A and B are shown apart, each in its own frame.
Chain A
């Protein structure tokens, strides 16, 4: 089935749907990972985006039950060069086309994904539309321009959990009050902006009891649960567009150890009194080089973000820059000098991605132990 991709600046790309009919709008981004498409598709941080994979062959290892990073597919549509007509992997329980089609997510193949990537690299992440139903370029371009975009919008409310839940080695456990089956030593509240399950798996495996709470949970309610530490998760969109959470985090500062990842890191930056800005086309992939300025070590990281903390907006007497991206020197990590709080822009939970940054979870555990 023929499909067209139209961008707000008038660029058109032709391809074929491999998931049936559909139409979707969103911000066009690209991910350079060679593997991990299932984790990428189930990463809530992609809410509102149309993901292009630069790897030319996708779907060859199918999908399975273990690589779910949330219980839904979040990108608005999925753009690839070639859909593998066959999947072959011992873990596979199904194929990618059915996985997408059953969730009404449009998947399009036969695209010059390198051209899309180059264009995005040059002009920045644009608003776009993908359709099999409307093949009139003019009409599509109009629709792309009509889409509001991500800046200033609250995307978190669409992906945060509706009710608190706990985590066991078998997955989510509904209910409140640290009710996971493992009675871990450290009680961690995860403030859910759109988390990935592997963050919970890693905390669970480090002797933590995890309680996930909705993004709008108040600081008082969080403290009432008597946590040992607070984990601020990743999530989609513009950190400045989410009402209330910055204030919540500010109130928690200094009370308990805080560890932030991705959107959680950006919200910490705002809570410290700083500001964020939108990157031209963001960082999405599994091989972003990051330098830990405190040790001088370089780690290869998985990333997925379109916004970034502006370090110049922060008071250097209060906040220390701890990590930078070696591709563009942007802020990748920071630490509060007075309070037990630290954060990274990238995804140390490595799903998908390298395991270089797992030490950050250990650092969080140590911080809780010391506190």
Chain B
């Protein structure tokens, strides 16, 4: 039962909403506007209700003196003085904010965490705060997530516990008048506010808003790459389904398709033929001139590379070139990655470093930037440039011992990298492996298949002199056991058959019994790797599921593309999860795991503190 008290409160809000809609913009008398703000109506909502713009509402509030006040968060209803400057806004009478006369910088945090907007950004914000403290500058943190370190009361000089919206951030800026605002550490959420803040005359520290736009706008980005003679996968934009089919045919399948209006890989898909494309356009999205569809050439089996770099506008230092274990097409947040890149040639690495420096210089990056590359057949492609801190910054900083976020903060405040002692890339003599952590076992009926849409909710790091051990440590930390002997089930799609062969052979040599579905078994046997045939679910009992349930299978390698939740592939993925059987959905992942198994046969895992590596 819903208590009538709640319903009545909702009714009060709805009634006021109707009253405002009826009054229109001219009818927003001071008393009504104030009541609306006390009720929690955002400027944007008021603009929507009265058919005007958020800027108009803001201006009207200014004229009427309708501004929020800030109250201190304390735990005793103001009975005792609170000393931690931890503020929230409300439309009330007394303002408890006490802006100082010191030099001060505001840091915009990441807001609510969600998949793709994780705690890694909070790390960067916290380090920014520490850097400001070292510079003797007052730090003002704006963030609304109580489960973070940036919202700990002792991280910054002041904390405003407020939503990351233009309205709320501008209200704080009006009150605190900071000398500058850092938007590049909190992920995409604050970066999206950069243009609005810039327009309002706020000083954005570091990389300019114009440069951010240049990297984010698809057309401008293309021109930017052309100017630097850098390559990106062939791509185009379609306004109609017919046009999409034509473009895909020209670019050639497989292609990566996604709606233009979403971020973070949502609704993104790799399609292999015209049927898939038509199916995608009919079921997943709505293509129109309002909602164009973006089509990119998908670089199958390319190696994906993540680069984090820091620049002071003149000098650019590469923080790290990381090589993904999973091939291109898996969201970078879901891929395991290795630092330093373990299969790239020196010349490719040099080419990537040179391209990174050129882009940083052209975009006049001041602070951090992240670039995603793909390398296929010794050709380097640029997939994406993010002129902000990336989610790999904490990993890179810990793996190399270089506090990138801290240094970037100081650079944004005018210091040069050379003055900060960072003059060249840091070379490390160990391997660090980042592995994603997935929440699949918390949710029923979620598919564990990885793809362009990010699914991980955390990450771990394994570090060691040996790559195999570093990978093994990362797997253990991520909760993925590493099988030492027994039965391995291999079921791969035709495209992957030749690339899985060396791994299957190695596993056989290591004493594993290979189980394989009909076609995979036939292929392996024909190529000299003994494999026993195992029934698919449709082929009669005992089948894969039976043997999974009997715990007769120690590891499953399955790259089948079946995404239908009724298909065999899905059922196997899901039951592997339910029965805690290690499960690998990529050939490269299987290869890395096999390397870890082999290394573990020869060496023991030794524990060392992070500091001992530097």
Q: Which of B475-510 contact A (CB under 8 A)?
A: none
Q: By the criterion CB–CB under 8 Å, are B5 and A117 in contact? A: no
Q: Which of A25-45 contact B (CB under 8 A)?
A: 30, 32
Q: By the criterion CB–CB under 8 Å, are B77 and A327 in contact? A: no
Partner of A118, one of B3, B5, B9, B78: B78
- Which of chain A's residues have a CB closer than 8 A to the CB of B93? 13-14, 112, 115
Q: Is there a chain A Cβ closer than 8 Å to B420's Cβ?
A: no
- Which of chain A's residues have a CB closer than 8 A to the CB of B81? 121
Q: Is there a chain A Cβ closer than 8 Å to B71's Cβ?
A: yes
Q: Is there a chain A Cβ closer than 8 Å to B76's Cβ?
A: yes
- Which of chain B's residues have a CB closer than 8 A to the CB of A121? 78-81
The distance in angstroms between the C-alpha atoms of A193 and B4, with both chains bound, is 41
- Which of chain A's residues have a CB closer than 8 A to the CB of B71? 114
Q: Is there a chain B Cβ closer than 8 Å to A353's Cβ?
A: no
Answer whether A60 and B92 are a contact pair too, CB < 8 Å, given A54-B78, A285-B79.
no
The distance in angstroms between the C-alpha atoms of A84 and B80, with both chains bound, is 27
The distance in angstroms between the C-alpha atoms of A136 and B459, with both chains bound, is 64
In angstroms, how far is the closest chain A Cβ from the Cβ of B71?
6
Q: By the criterion CB–CB under 8 Å, are A117 and B4 in contact? A: no
Q: By the criterion CB–CB under 8 Å, are A86 and B79 in contact? A: no
Q: By the criterion CB–CB under 8 Å, are B79 and A60 in contact? A: no
Q: Is there a chain A Cβ closer than 8 Å to B346's Cβ?
A: no
The distance in angstroms between the C-alpha atoms of A55 and B9, with both chains bound, is 17
Q: By the criterion CB–CB under 8 Å, are B92 and A114 in contact? A: yes
In angstroms, how far is the closest chain B Cβ from the Cβ of A35?
13
Interface of B is mostly: loop
Q: Is there a chain A Cβ closer than 8 Å to B94's Cβ?
A: yes
Q: Is there a chain A Cβ closer than 8 Å to B604's Cβ?
A: no
- Which of chain B's residues have a CB closer than 8 A to the CB of A114? 71, 77-78, 92, 94
Q: Which of A252-304 contact B (CB under 8 A)?
A: 285
The distance in angstroms between the C-alpha atoms of A76 and B77, with both chains bound, is 22
Q: By the criterion CB–CB under 8 Å, are A327 and B80 in contact? A: yes
Answer whether A88 and B79 are a contact pair too, CB < 8 Å, given A114-B71, A114-B94, A118-B94.
no
Q: By the criterion CB–CB under 8 Å, are A54 and B77 in contact? A: yes
Q: Is there a chain B Cβ closer than 8 Å to A85's Cβ?
A: yes
- Which of chain A's residues have a CB closer than 8 A to the CB of B92? 112, 114-115
The distance in angstroms between the C-alpha atoms of A117 and B92, with both chains bound, is 14
Indicate with 1 or 0, residue by residue over B89-116, a CB within 8 angstroms of chain A CB atoms: 0001110100000000000000000000
In angstroms, how far is the closest chain B Cβ from the Cβ of A36?
14
Answer whether A32 and B77 are a contact pair too, CB < 8 Å, given A112-B92, A114-B71.
yes
Answer whether A115 and B94 are a contact pair too, CB < 8 Å, given A60-B5, A88-B3.
yes
The distance in angstroms between the C-alpha atoms of A53 and B420, with both chains bound, is 54
- Which of chain B's residues have a CB closer than 8 A to the CB of A14? 93
The distance in angstroms between the C-alpha atoms of A166 and B148, with both chains bound, is 59
Q: By the criterion CB–CB under 8 Å, are A117 and B79 in contact? A: yes
Indicate with 1 or 0, residue by residue over A80-113, a CB within 8 angstroms of chain B CB atoms: 0000111110000000000000000000000010
Q: By the criterion CB–CB under 8 Å, are B5 and A54 in contact? A: no
The distance in angstroms between the C-alpha atoms of A1 and B45, with both chains bound, is 29
Q: Is there a chain A Cβ closer than 8 Å to B23's Cβ?
A: no
In angstroms, how far is the closest chain A Cβ from the Cβ of B169?
24
Q: Kindly name the residue among A55, A118, A285, A327 whose own CB sees the greatest number of chain B CB atoms within 10 A.
A: A118
Partner of B79, one of A13, A54, A85, A112: A54
Q: A30-B79, A88-B3 are in contact. List 7 more A-B contacts (CB 8 A).
A: A54-B77, A54-B78, A86-B8, A88-B8, A114-B92, A115-B92, A121-B80
Give me 26 A-to-B residue pairs in the complex whose CB atoms sit less than 8 angstroms apart, sorted by A's number: A13-B93, A14-B93, A30-B77, A32-B76, A32-B77, A54-B78, A54-B79, A55-B77, A60-B5, A84-B5, A85-B8, A86-B8, A87-B5, A88-B5, A112-B92, A114-B71, A114-B77, A114-B78, A114-B92, A114-B94, A115-B94, A117-B77, A117-B78, A118-B78, A118-B96, A121-B81
| Interface positions of B (Cβ within 8 A of A) | 3-5, 8-9, 12, 71, 76-81, 92-94, 96
